[in-house]
Amino acid sequence: MAGGIAAPLLAGSHPAGRTAEPGPRRCQPFEAGQLILASQDWLFADPHRQAQAEACDWDLLIVDEAHHLEWSEERVGPGYACVERLAGSVPGILLLTATPEQMGQESHFTRLRLLDPDRYHSLADFQEEERHYIEVAEAIDALERLPGQEEDRQRVAAVIHEADSQALLDTLASSESDAAQRDAARDQLRDQLLDRHGTGRVMFRNSRRHVGGFPERRLHVEHLEPPAAYRRVLRRLSRDEDYLDELLIESGLDHPRCWSIWTPCTGHWPTIP
């Protein structure tokens, strides 16, 4: 499809300097370059390609339209299972979605589970925790006012249950602590509240509506002629359907579900099933 790819994408990057290995692994498509882009539909439907992707060393895995990954306590979708296996060995995971909570709380939890399975291990615990987010937000506000009113100390104490957090609160509220000790205790306690309650540092919200400085979007269309070699191949494809099989055999690629032919008279890429 010219001009873009309709299916969601999955991207990965290899460690710097990594190159494709010679010999029998030359047909390994995921070692063809430093940055790899793959259609989710293509990858998730092919166990062989999934195994090839999992056999590679990756620096970063990026999943676009991540809300399409399906998971439930009764059934795990093939796409989710594939990303989960990759996430188990890739040091950096970035899930992109414009609608993190539109498909429900469970869908939101499934993506958090991919990012930090130890932190988000139980849907029931996550749902219970979300019911107390307002209390945590109020506790963080009260934390900034300490040492102050006893009410502020109690508000913070109500949402912490760990001994290390309680010790920090005692330091912060104590009249014997100096300013440096209080500042250090406040910073540590704030970090603990962020990491132990809610989505903490694993989710970032961003939109053009809330972030200024973006220029106005304007469409600029530029028509590009395909190179001569492309035109020769496309002309032959329009005359000989078997030629596609020859190209795929030579390149070692899988047969696509559809292919396109450039039509000079219309300037379009009509899809041929």
Per-residue pLDDT of the chain (273 residues; tens, 9 = 90+): 222 233 455 666 666 544 444 444 446 888 888 888 888 988 999 999 999 999 998 999 999 988 888 888 788 899 999 999 999 989 888 998 877 666 677 878 888 888 888 888 888 887 777 777 777 778 878 878 878 778 888 888 887 878 888 888 888 888 788 888 888 888 888 887 777 776 666 666 666 666 677 788 889 998 888 889 888 888 888 888 788 777 777 666 665 544 444 444 444 444 443
How far apart, in Å, are the Cα atoms of 93 and each of 60, 76, 202?
6, 19, 10
**Cβ atoms 266, 8 nearer than 8 A:** no
**Cβ atoms 237, 243 nearer than 8 A:** yes
- Cβ neighbours of residue 254 closer than 8 Å, sequence gap 6 or more: 42, 46, 49, 248
Q: Are strands 60-63 and 92-95 parallel, antiparallel or unpaired?
A: parallel
Q: How far apart are CA 187 and CA 212, in angstroms?
A: 29
Q: How far apart are CA 205 and CA 199, in angstroms?
A: 11
Per-domain boundaries in the chain: 9-129, 133-196, 228-272
Q: Classify domain 9-129 by CATH architecture.
A: 3-Layer(aba) Sandwich (3.40)
**Cβ atoms 272, 259 nearer than 8 A:** yes
* The pTM of the whole model exceeds 0.85: no
